[in-house]
A and B are shown apart, each in its own frame.
Chain A
Amino acid sequence: MGIALQLLFTGLGIGSIYALVALGFVLIYRATNVVNFAQGDFAMLGAFSMVVLCIDLELPYWLGILITLVAMLVFGALFNLAVYYPLRNRGFQPVIISTIGASILLENGVLAGYGPRPQTLPSFFSFQGFSVGPIFFDSQYLLILGVTVVMVTLQYLFFERTLLGKKMQATSQDKEMASLLGIPVALMIMLTFIYSSALGGLAGILVAPILFVSVGMGSSIALKAFAASIIGGFGDVTGAIVGGLALGVVETFGAAYISVPYKDAFAFIVLVVFLLFRPQGLFGEKVAEKA
């Protein structure tokens, strides 16, 4: 029982990372109808940035985090301009391929700059964590959960309570109508990319002390985040969060009770199961075709 609860805690922690990346996916998809295959690489960039700033340059963690977040905001804008914007009227396939290209470019760019050896980042905290009964609450995992809760809450408040949030929602529901009302659609999309990039970067910052920081970490997180958003119901914000958390838990339990090397396979298996039996996911709605 104690082990199960421990696994649950760990699973929720890693699931939060998936949820944060999935959230970025879904927001971009809702605004632009495009699946961004480089989403996971935003996390990878965030993690590597921390390594460069805090290990190589020996900056304090708080400064490293600040600089990384700002850098990711700027990066999101550049990404929009270079990868999405030139292809925005071309249909979804060229854009998917373009984001794949971006993913390869980012991963190999970092590889060229940093080499293939995985890096490690020490935990942010000097104190390890604390125990309550049979469960050990690792401080980094607590941070991840805490930050995720705060982010999700802030995001909810932003979209539901601010006018800008409403304008962004309107843009993702009906771009043309939004522009007829005077909402600057291109700007709304730019903000979406900037925010998603920062979300991804944040996920990378949070997860860096837990995993090996390697060039391929982004792709593997992206795969799971995508699976999570399909499980939750593709296009649904709540679904992305629930799906991410659920997947993290399933994966952790699977690794513990079934097999460790094939841990990454669970995401795929769950994904295939959902695609076969419930492609609209937990919260999604069936999409109708029009003539």
Chain B
Amino acid sequence: MSLLELENVVTAYGKVEALKGLTLRVEQGEIVTLLGSNGAGKSTTLRTISGLVRPLSGTMRFLGQPIDRLLPEAIVKLGVAHVPEHRRVFPGLTVRENILLGGSNRVRASRRELETDAEQMFAVFPELKPFANVLGWKLSGGQQQMVAIARGLMAQPKLLLLDEPSLGLAPLIVQQVFQIIAGIRAQGTTVLLVEQNAHMALSIGDRGYVLETGRLVAEGNPEALWNNDVVRAAYLGGRKMVR
């Protein structure tokens, strides 16, 4: 049984069909990437999985359990954590408070447990330690991204959905973030990663899917996708590209 299965999922925003029958799966322990240019439907896929948007038709199963009718609060309790686009760190709360709230889905955990786990996050993200009591809106983009990922990990998810973690970050920070993602998988958490930065995504993923206007146009392992003209065309027109 796959960890996550999507079959023929159709999602629309009002009149616009953002996903036109998407089928994919994620197996335990993988890093799967979703590629595609802007507007391809990558973020919509994650938002549909995490329950922010309800699909019009199709099925979604997590560990065999259907999740297409559930609220986000219920889905995260099942073990799917979504780190959305643009980081969305709570601006009026400190770094520590943001991270602490990441454990909100763990209803049985005591405050003490959560605080211990939050402290452990500072070990994984040592650059955040000096900023533990700084309010969210004062952080730089890179710091916010780390806080967002730490917050996602606090949920102790089985599946982590990451939406464009490299967005707006300097190349060096991007490298760091991707090291962390690799580390996450090493700890046993499965990752579904949405990235516009195809290079980085393919360098870390086990498998990839390529979306274009809501449809799957290619899938396979990184080498195959990188050499695939369809992928290049999806990003850069393909014709005048020099390798």
A/B touching: CB–CB < 8 A: yes
Interface centre among B92, B104, B114 (most CB of A within 10 A): B104
Contact of B104 among A169, A173, A176, A181 (CB under 8 A): A181
The 0/1 profile, CB within 8 Å of B marked 1, for residues 143-181 of chain A is 000000000000000000001001101100110111111
- Interface residues of B, count at CB 8 A: 26
Least distance between A50 CB and chain B CB atoms (Å): 36
Asked if B100 is at the interface (CB within 8 A of a chain A CB), the reply is yes
How many residue-residue contacts, CB under 8 A, span A and B? 61
The 0/1 profile, CB within 8 Å of A marked 1, for residues 49-74 of chain B is 01010000000000000000001110
Q: A194–B191 Cα gap in the complex (Å)?
A: 40
Tell me which residues across on chain B come within 8 A of A118, comparing CB atoms: none
Given A173-B90, A176-B52, check contact A182 B97 (CB 8 Å): no
Asked if B76 and A167 sit within 8 Å, CB to CB, the answer is: no
Tell me which residues across on chain B come within 8 A of A178, comparing CB atoms: 101, 104
Asked if A180 and B76 sit within 8 Å, CB to CB, the answer is: yes
In the complex, which residue of chain B has the Cβ closest to the Cβ of A185?
B73
Q: A194–B83 Cα gap in the complex (Å)?
A: 31
Asked if B52 and A183 sit within 8 Å, CB to CB, the answer is: no
Q: A176–B71 Cα gap in the complex (Å)?
A: 11
Least distance between B54 CB and chain A CB atoms (Å): 13
Least distance between A127 CB and chain B CB atoms (Å): 44
Asked if A101 is at the interface (CB within 8 A of a chain B CB), the reply is no
Asked if B84 and A177 sit within 8 Å, CB to CB, the answer is: yes
Asked if B20 is at the interface (CB within 8 A of a chain A CB), the reply is no
Interface residues of B (CB under 8 A from A): 50, 52, 71-73, 76-77, 81-82, 84, 88, 90-93, 97, 100-102, 104-106, 111, 114, 151, 155
Interface residues of A (CB under 8 A from B): 163, 166-167, 169-170, 173-174, 176-185
